[in-house]
Structures are given as C-alpha cells and as structure tokens.
C-alpha cells in the first residue's frame, strides 16, 4: 500500500512589485491554517500569497513531492560561458594536482 498525504503549500512571487516573476513555495504545511498564516502579506504588492494543496507520497520511509513542486532555473547563454570557464579552471587545478602527486 502506498502512503499518501495532503499538505498545504504557501507561495510567494519572485517579483513582489509587479508579479511578473515566478511563483515559488515559501512553506509546506501540515494544515491549511498554517499555510494561510505564512502566506499573509507575502505576495505581489503585499497581498496574501496563494495556498494550494499538494499530495505527497511515502517511499522507503521518506515523503516525496511531485517534480513540478520546484522550478529548475536553466542557464542563460552568459551562465553557460561562465560555467565553461569554471569547468576549465577546475580541470586545470585537477591536472596540476595529479602532476604534483605523480612526481
């Protein structure tokens, strides 16, 4: 038997001025009342944030949320260029460390 439970999630927006950002969760709560309290005045222009239910599933003793509960932020072209430089620097450091341990 699969254990399931409902939780209430309070959301805010990454742009609380105009609301053009993304909704992101600020709290996962056992009761709706708690989520409503935590969402109060936390949304666009000081309004109350939305509260939605979410179904969790228990697998091997741990509770899991659906994958759409989080928003993965993908890199911009600038981020990819910076990441390439980071990766190159780490590779160079790794190469230097391996040479030092060889000799």
Q: Where along the chain do its domains lie?
A: 1-72, 73-103
Model pLDDT, residue 67? 80
Look up the pTM and report it: 0.68
Q: How confident is the model at residue 26 (pLDDT cuts 50, 70, 90)?
A: very high
SS3 assignment, position 29 = strand
In sequence order, what E strands does 1-103 have?
3-13, 23-29, 51-59, 62-64
- Of the two residues 99 and 75, the one the predictor is more confident about is 75
In terms of Cα–Cα distance, which of 16, 6, 99 is closest to 51? 6
pLDDT tens, 36-65? 999 999 999 999 999 999 999 999 999 998
Higher-confidence residue of 87 and 22: namely 87
Give dist(CA 71, CA 12) in Å, integer: 13
What is the rounded CA–CA span in Å between residue 64 and residue 66? 7
Residue 103 has pLDDT above 70, yes or no: no
């Amino acid at each position: 038997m699969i254990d399931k439970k409902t939780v209430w999630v309070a959301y805010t927006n990454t742009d609380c001025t105009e609301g053009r950002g993304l909704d992101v969760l600020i709290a996962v709560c056992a009761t709706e009342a708690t989520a409503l309290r935590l969402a109060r005045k936390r949304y666009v222009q000081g309004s109350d944030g939305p509260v939605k239910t979410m179904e969790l599933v228990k697998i091997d003793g741990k509770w899991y949320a659906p994958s759409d509960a989080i928003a993965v932020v993908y890199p911009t072209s600038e981020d990819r260029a910076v990441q390439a430089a980071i990766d190159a620097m780490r590779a160079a450091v790794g190469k230097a460390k391996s040479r030092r341990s060889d000799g």
